[in-house]
């Protein structure tokens, strides 16, 4: 049995707990000052009274607090780290590098930097992973296997994390915004709230699944829908004239700039 402990019980921690909760080989526990006990009850896992207790019970500890809480967390954990330095750390703290994590927690620890997205909660996530250079390949494989349980993963150089965070980490919010725009357009054109939501969600979900399962590029799929001279082409033209690509690039650039503030 592998025990995974969470420090922080917000949206990201909850998604990861949901992603791992079906695994009979994994036991999950959490500490968070305000909501930890409530979240643990809702998700059917145990809660601890302190970050130290999480550390001492766990084989792997996920740091899932706001990034600016790293120093406070390190302070709470210091005695436990000295008592049990074998614990593996997986940090999802946005913008916080492996070097910063080692500086705060200890040079001797085994630390993985992970950048998951909330879709891990429905086992359709994406996680970028970065390991210490000297991480034992068996440990690397074991950690990567855990993240593979709830979606696709790639090992990425840390300098690529800013882009990965903006596109894949924040991406679900941007795709959700487009889905909401589709829904609003359906509502404006007379569909009911329920039907508008279903049309928008199912179309976004089906399009992603279609590209992945049939191994089609986005442009190949778009061209299949666009009968020459037909109605889709008329709408697609409006998206291109409105410079959708530039709007999305500006969105990613702003997201990366904000993320870089934490570095």
Ligand X SMILES: NC(=O)C1=CN([C@@H]2O[C@H](COP(=O)(O)OP(=O)(O)OC[C@H]3O[C@@H](n4cnc5c(N)ncnc54)[C@H](O)[C@@H]3O)[C@@H](O)[C@H]2O)C=CC1
Ligand Y SMILES: O=C(O)[C@@H]1CCC=N1
What residues line the site for ligand X (CB under 6 A)?
Answer: 7-13, 32-35, 64-67, 69, 72-73, 92-94, 115-118, 169
Q: Taking Cα atoms as reference points, which of 195, 173, 12, 198 lies closest to residue 91?
A: 12
Q: Is 116 in the site for ligand Y (CB under 6 A)?
A: no
Cβ-based nearer residue to ligand Y, 64 or 186: 64
Cβ-based nearer residue to ligand X, 9 or 255: 9
256 is in an annotated binding site: no
- Choose, by CB under 6 A, the member of 9, 14, 73, 170 that binds ligand Y: 170
Interacting stretch for ligand Y, rule CB under 6 A, among 16-24, 132-140, 162-170, 213-221? 162-170
- Choose, by CB under 6 A, the member of 9, 162, 169, 196 that binds ligand Y: 169
Could you give the CA distance from residue 2 to residue 58 in angstroms, rounded to a whole number? Answer: 8
Q: Which residue is nearest to ligand Y (CB)?
A: 169
Could you tell me the two tokens for 89? 């750390």
Q: Is 65 in the site for ligand Y (CB under 6 A)?
A: no
Q: Is 165 in the site for ligand Y (CB under 6 A)?
A: yes
Cα angle 98-58-91, degrees, rounded to a multiple of 5 = 20
11 is in an annotated binding site: yes
Q: How many CA atoms lie within 13 A of 27 on its CB side?
A: 9
Binding mask 80-109 for ligand Y (x = CB under 6 A): --------------x---------------
Interaction site with ligand Y (CB under 6 A)? 94, 165, 169-170
Annotated binding site for NADP(+): 7-12, 32
């Amino acid at each position: 049995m592998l025990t995974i402990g969470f420090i922080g019980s917000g949206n990201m921690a909850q998604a990861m707990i949901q992603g791992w909760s079906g695994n009979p080989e994994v036991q999950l526990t959490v500490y968070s000052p305000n909501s930890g006990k409530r979240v643990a009850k809702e998700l059917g896992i145990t809660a601890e009274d302190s970050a130290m207790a999480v550390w001492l019970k766990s084989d792997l500890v996920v740091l899932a607090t706001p990034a600016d809480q790293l120093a406070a967390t390190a302070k709470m954990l210091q005695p436990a780290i000295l008592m049990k330095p074998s614990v593996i750390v997986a940090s999802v703290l946005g913008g916080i590098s492996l070097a910063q994590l080692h500086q705060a927690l200890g040079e001797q620890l085994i630390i993985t930097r992970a950048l998951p997205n909330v879709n891990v909660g429905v086992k359709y996530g994406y996680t970028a992973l970065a390991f210490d250079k000297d991480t034992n390949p068996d440990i690397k494989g074991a950690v990567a296997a855990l993240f593979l349980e709830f979606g696709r993963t790639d090992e990425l150089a840390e300098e690529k994390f800013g882009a990965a965070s903006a596109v894949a980490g924040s991406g679900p919010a941007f795709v959700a915004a487009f889905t909401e725009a589709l829904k609003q357009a359906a509502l404006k054109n007379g569909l009911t709230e329920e039907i508008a939501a279903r049309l928008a969600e199912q179309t976004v979900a089906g399009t992603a699944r279609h590209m992945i399962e049939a191994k089609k590029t986005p442009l190949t799929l778009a061209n299949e829908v666009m009968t020459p001279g037909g109605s889709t082409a008329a709408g697609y033209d409006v998206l291109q004239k409105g410079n959708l690509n530039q709007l999305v690039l500006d969105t990613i650039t702003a997201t990366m700039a904000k993320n870089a503030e934490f570095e």
